[in-house]
Amino acid sequence: MAFLEMIDIVKRYPGVTANDHVDLAVERGEIHALMGENGAGKSTLMSILYGLQSPDEGYIRLKGSTLLLRSPLDAIAHGIGMVHQAFRLFESLSVWENVVYQREPRRGIFVDGARACAEVEELARRHGLPIDPKARVANLPVGVRQRLEILKALYREARVLILDEPTAVLTPAEVANLFTVLRSLAAAGCTILFVTHKLNEVMAVSHRITVLRDGRVSERLVTAQTDPGEIVRAMTGRAVTPQIPKQPRAPGHVKLEARGLVVEKDGRRAVDEVSLQVRGGEIVGIAGVAGNGQSELIEALIGLMPIARGSVLLAGRDVTCESVAVHRASGLSYIAEDRARTATAATASATDNLAMGFHRSAPLARNGLLQPKALRSWARGLIERFDIKIASEDTPVGTLSGGNLQKIVSARELAHNAPVLIAEQPTRGVDVGAVAFIHAELLNVRDRGHGVLLVSAELSEILALADRILVMYEGRIAAEFARAQADEATLGLYMAGGTRP
Amino acid sequence: MTVAAEVRAHLRRHVRPVLPMLGAVAVGFGVCGLIALWVGLSPSLMFRQLLEGAVEGPQLFETIARAVPLVGMTLAASVSLRAGIVNLGAEGQLALGGCATAVVALYFPAPDLVRLAMALTAGMVVGASYAALAAAGEIYAGVPVLLSTWLLTYPAKGLCGFLVRTSLRDPSTAWPSTARIAVGTRLGRLIPGTPINQGLLLIAAVAVAVIFIDRRSVVGFELRLRGLNERFARYGGVALRRQTLGVMLASGAIAGLVGAIMVLGSQFRYTDGALTAPQYAWSGTLAALLAGGEPAGSVIAAVLFAALQTGGFAMERSVQIPRVLTMVLQSVVILFLAMRGAIWKRP
C-alpha cells in the first residue's frame, strides 16, 4: 500500500467532469510529478488533496487510513502542505511572523518572538533554506518568498508538500536551487507532489510521473525509463512538433517607442529611465525575473499606469499619459498578464469577453446597436479556432481553467490585427499544443509586418520567438542582445543582476 | 441541440437569474407573516388587506399613479448602478429639477404647449447638470461620486426651500410654496377620474429607452461590462471618465424629469419638501439594488414596491395594521437578496 493514495476521485462541475475516476499513488520520500494540459484536472485534483474542494466520489488515504478533508485546516492537520502559484504571504510582516502565524510559540498571552525567530532559523538551517527570519517580506525577491512558503509548510510539519507550478517565477539559478532543496526534503522522508508543464524540470527532478488527460489518468511513468516525447504523447494524445521555423525578416519602421520612461510606484522608481523601440516585423523580447519592473513598464506603455517622466510614441503619435482608449485607437492590442483581474470580466459570458474592443464597429455593431447574431458567431469562431474548452459561448468565463482563460484573452487580442501587439506572458499556464499554436500566431503577427513586444518569464519562449532581447533588472534595461548573440546562460546572468564577466 | 437541452439552456439564461429575487420576496413575506402572528394579527387578513389595498378597484389607479415617479427614480438609480456607480443624490436632483420646472412653467413667456415642453426640459437639464457636478468632482478632483452625490443633496434641497420662502413664495398659501401653475401648462389626466396623468407615458418611454439601450446598444454593453469589472472595461478601451459623465447626466436627467412630472402632473406647484417626502429616491435605489441594476427587473421591482406602499396605506386605514410593516417587508427582501451570495456559495 502506497504512503498517500487518492482513490477513484470524481469531481463534476456543470458541463464538465474535471476528475473522472482518478487514482494517484505516491510513496513516502518520492518526488511525484503531476502533468497534463489545461483543463486536464491537475488543479482540481490538488485542491481536493488540500481540502479546498470535496470530491463527488472517491477518497484519500494517508498511511492506510482514510482522511476526511473539509478544509485546508484539516489537510494541514494531517501534514499536507501546499505552495500556491500565487504566494499567500503578509507582505508587511517579517519572515518569522509569516512562518509561525496561527502556531505562534507563546509566553502567557504574548507571542514569544525570540523563540519563534530561533525556531524559524533552526528550521531553515536544517532544510538548507537560507533566509533572514527578521526580514520584511515586502523586501524579499520572489525566489526567497517561495522558500518562505516552503518553510511555512514545514513549520506546520508537512509530510506531503504540494507545489503548484513552482518554477514559473524563478531564474534558472533559483530553479536549480529549488531542485536541490526538493531532493534533500525527499531524502529526509518528505513526499512531494509537483504540478508542472515543463518537461525538462520533470525529467530533472521527479521520480515518477502521473499524466492526466481530460480528467483521466492517461499514463503512469517512471522518470528514469521515459523520455519527453512519451510524456507529450501521454498529455496530448499526439506527438507535437515543438517549434515552427522562423523566417528571417528585415525590420521596418518604428511602431512603438518609449523615451526615458520613469514610472513611480510606492515611492520608488519601478521603471527607471527605460528607452526602447519596437519596429514593424520584429519581436522584441523582454526577459527578466518577475517583479523587476516589467509589469509597470507595460502598464505605462498601454496607459493603465501614470507616467512620471518620459514619453510614449505609437506609430509616431505621442500618446504619453493618454487613456487606454486612445492607445487602442492608435493601433495597439495587449495580452495582459493578469488575465482574471484585468483582461477578462469573470461574471460576463465568453461572448461579451471576446467582443470587448470589437463591440463598437461592424460587423459586431451597426449604428451604435449590437448585432446579437454577429456577436454569437464571432465568439463561436474564436472558441473554435483557439480550441477553447467551454460549455457554450453564453458561459461566464470565470468558470474556465487558467489556460482556457488565457486562450480567451490571446484569441481576442490576436484578432485585433493591430500594428503593435504587447504580449505579456501569453502562454502562461497554457498546454503544450496551445503554446505551439499561440507561438505560431505571434510569428504570424510579426510576418505581417506588425511589431510585437513580448514579455515572458520563460527564457525558452523569448529565445524561440524574439528577434531582439532586452533584459530588465530593478527597473532598468540591464542589457540588450540581438537574438544570435543571446543564450540562456548569458541572459540568466543579467536577469540575476550580474554583468558581463 | 435536443429540445430538452434547448429548454434547459433557455431556463438557465432567463429564469435562473430571477430565482434569487423571487426567493427573497417569498422570505420577506414569510417574515412579515411571522411578525403579524407574533403581535396577534392574522397574516391572511393582513396580506388580503395589503393585496386589496394595492389592486382592488380605484386602488389600482392609486398604485399606478405612485408607480410612475417610483419607476422613474428606479430608472435613475439603475442607469448608474448598472455601471457600478452609485448615485445617492437623486433626491436633490429631483428637487432642483422640480423647482426649475415650476419656475419655467410659471414665468416663461411662451404659448402654453411650448412652455410645458420648456418646463419639462428645464427639469431634466437642471437635474442632469446637478448630477454632472458630482461626476466632474470625481473626474477632476477625485471626490467619489458616492459621497458627493449624497452630500450635494442637502444644498439642493436647501436652495429650493430658500427660494420658495423668498422670491418664489406665493403669499396666499400657508405653506412655503410657489404660485399655482396655470391649467394650460399642466400635464393632463390620462384617465379621467383617476390620479393618472400623462407623465405615465413619459416614464414608460424612458423605461423602454433605458431597457433597449441596456440590451442592444454599444453604450449599454460598455456600461454593463464596467459594472462587472471596471479594470477590464478600462483595459478594453472604454473611456471611463466620459462614461462617468454620461451616466450621471442620464441619471440626473431622469430624476429631474420625475420632479417635473410631479410638479406639472399632480402638485401643480413646487412646495418645500413635497417632492421628497414620499422618499421615491430611496425606494428607487432599493428597487434597482433588488434587480442588481438590470433595468427591466428594476422596473418590475419598482412596481411591486409601489403596490406594497399603496397597499400599506390602505391596510393602515382599514385594519389599523401600521404600514411600517410594508417597509419592514421591503428591507427584509433586500437583506435576503444581499445574503444569498454567501448562502448559495456554500457547498
pLDDT in tens, B252-270: 999 999 999 999 999 999 9
Length of chain B: 347
Over residues A296-354, the pLDDT tens digits come to 999 999 999 999 999 999 988 999 989 898 999 899 999 998 888 899 999 999 999 99
Which of B 7-26 lie inside 8 A of A, CB atoms?
Answer: 9, 13
Burial A333-357 (b: 16+ CB within 10 A, else e): bbbbbebbebbbbbebbbbbbbbbb
* B203 closest CA partner among B146, B275, B262, B245: B262
A357:B236 CB<8 A: yes
Residue A388, pLDDT > 60, answer: yes
Residues in chain A closer than 8 A to B224 (CB atoms): 348, 352
C-alpha angle A269/A272/A277, rounded to 5°?
145
Q: Are A382 and A350 in contact (CB under 8 A)?
A: no
**More confident site: B14 or A445:** A445
Taking CA atoms, B297 is separated from A108, B18, B208, B287, in Å, by 57, 8, 12, 9
pLDDT at B24: 81
Taking CA atoms, B110 is separated from A476, A498, B116, B256, in Å, by 69, 82, 9, 22
Helical residues (DSSP H) of chain B, grouped into ranges: 3-10, 19-38, 43-55, 58-81, 90-107, 112-141, 145-165, 199-216, 218-228, 230-235, 240-262, 280-290, 295-319, 324-345
Reduce the DSSP state of residue B289 to 3 states and report it: helix
Q: Are B263 and B105 in contact (CB under 8 A)?
A: yes
Over residues B217-238, the pLDDT tens digits come to 999 999 999 999 999 999 999 9
Residue contacts between A and B (CB atoms, under 8 Å): 73
Q: What is the CA radius of gyration of chain B?
A: 21
Domains in chain A: ranges and CATH? 1-79+160-168+185-236 (3.40.50.300), 86-158 (no CATH), 254-495 (3.40.50.300)
Is the pTM higher than 0.90? Answer: no
Instruction: Find how far residue A211's CA is from the centre of its chain.
Output: 20
Our CA-based measurement puts residue B238 at a distance from the nearest CA of chain A, in whole angstroms, of 6
Share of chain B above pLDDT 90, in %: 67
Pairing mode, strands A317-318 and A57-62: unpaired
pLDDT at A174: 82
Residue A45, pLDDT > 70, answer: yes
DSSP A123-141: HHHHTT----TTSBGGGS-
Burial B273-297 (b: 16+ CB within 10 A, else e): ebbbeeebbbbbbbbbbbbbbbbeb
* B327 closest CA partner among B21, B35, B23, B18: B35
Over residues B8-41, the pLDDT tens digits come to 767 766 666 677 778 888 888 898 889 888 888 8
The pLDDT confidence band at residue A146, using thresholds 50, 70 and 90, is confident
The pLDDT confidence band at residue A109, using thresholds 50, 70 and 90, is confident
Q: Give the three cell numbers for residue A148.
A: 518562505
Residues in chain A closer than 8 A to B293 (CB atoms): none
**Cα dihedral: A284, A285, A290, A295 (round 10):** 20
pLDDT at B343: 45
Q: Are A380 and A349 in contact (CB under 8 A)?
A: no
Q: What is the mean pLDDT of chain A?
A: 88
The pLDDT confidence band at residue B249, using thresholds 50, 70 and 90, is very high
Query: Which of B11, B12, B216, B235 to mutate against chain A (most A CBs within 10 Å)?
Result: B235
Over residues A464-492, the pLDDT tens digits come to 899 999 999 889 999 999 988 888 778 87
The pLDDT confidence band at residue A291, using thresholds 50, 70 and 90, is confident
Q: Which of A102-111, B70-79, B84-93 has the lowest mean pLDDT?
A: A102-111
B239:A325 CB<8 A: yes
pLDDT at A37: 74
A345:B225 CB<8 A: yes
Taking CA atoms, A267 is separated from A93, A270, A271, A275, in Å, by 19, 9, 12, 21
What's the rounded Cα separation, in Å, for the pair A346 and A335? 16
Pairing mode, strands A191-195 and A160-164: parallel
Residues in chain A closer than 8 A to B222 (CB atoms): 359
Length of chain A: 501
pLDDT at B342: 45
What's the rounded Cα separation, in Å, for the pair A324 and A330? 10
Taking CA atoms, A349 is separated from A180, A346, B141, in Å, by 44, 8, 35
pLDDT at A75: 93
Q: Is A247 exposed, middle or buried (0-12, 13-18, 19+ CB in 10 A)?
A: exposed
Pairing mode, strands A4-13 and A16-26: antiparallel
A345:B218 CB<8 A: no
Is the sign of the CA dihedral A264, A265, A266, A272 positive or negative? negative
Residue A356, pLDDT > 90, answer: yes
pLDDT at A107: 86
Pairing mode, strands A332-335 and A420-424: parallel
Query: Which of B214, B229, B344 to mutate against chain A (most A CBs within 10 Å)?
Result: B229
Q: Are A335 and A357 in contact (CB under 8 A)?
A: no
pLDDT at A205: 93
Over residues A170-194, the pLDDT tens digits come to 777 888 888 999 999 999 999 999 9
Instruction: Please compute the mean of the pLDDT values over residues A98-105 and round it to a whole number.
Output: 88
Single-letter code of the amino acid located at B289: L
What's the rounded Cα separation, in Å, for the pair B292 and B214? 13
- CB proximity list for A343: less than 8 A, separation 6 or greater: A335, A336, A409, B232, B235
Q: Are A295 and A316 in contact (CB under 8 A)?
A: no
Over residues B97-127, the pLDDT tens digits come to 999 999 999 999 999 999 999 999 999 999 9
Our CA-based measurement puts residue B244 at a distance from the nearest CA of chain A, in whole angstroms, of 14
Residue A499, pLDDT > 90, answer: no
* B85 closest CA partner among B230, B182, B202: B230
Instruction: Please compute the mean of the pLDDT values over residues A408-425 and round it to a whole number.
Output: 93
Q: Give the three cell numbers for residue A451.
A: 511589431
Residue A284, pLDDT > 70, answer: yes
**A4-13 β-sheet, strand order:** A16-26, A4-13, A57-62, A65-67
**Is residue B228 less than 8 Å (CB to CB) from chain A?**
yes
Q: What is the CA radius of gyration of chain A?
A: 24
* A324 closest CA partner among B290, B233, B218: B233
Considering only the beta carbons, identify the residue of B218, B222, B235 that sits closest to A342: B235
Report which secondary-structure segment, H or E, holds A408: helix A402-415
Considering only the beta carbons, identify the residue of A325, A327, A347 that sits closest to B238: A325
Domains in chain B: ranges and CATH? 20-33+41-345 (1.10.3470)
The pLDDT confidence band at residue A501, using thresholds 50, 70 and 90, is low
Q: Which of A225-239, A433-447, B228-242, B332-346 has the lowest mean pLDDT?
A: B332-346
A343:B235 CB<8 A: yes
Residues in chain A closer than 8 A to B230 (CB atoms): none
Residue A269, pLDDT > 90, answer: no
The pLDDT confidence band at residue A410, using thresholds 50, 70 and 90, is very high
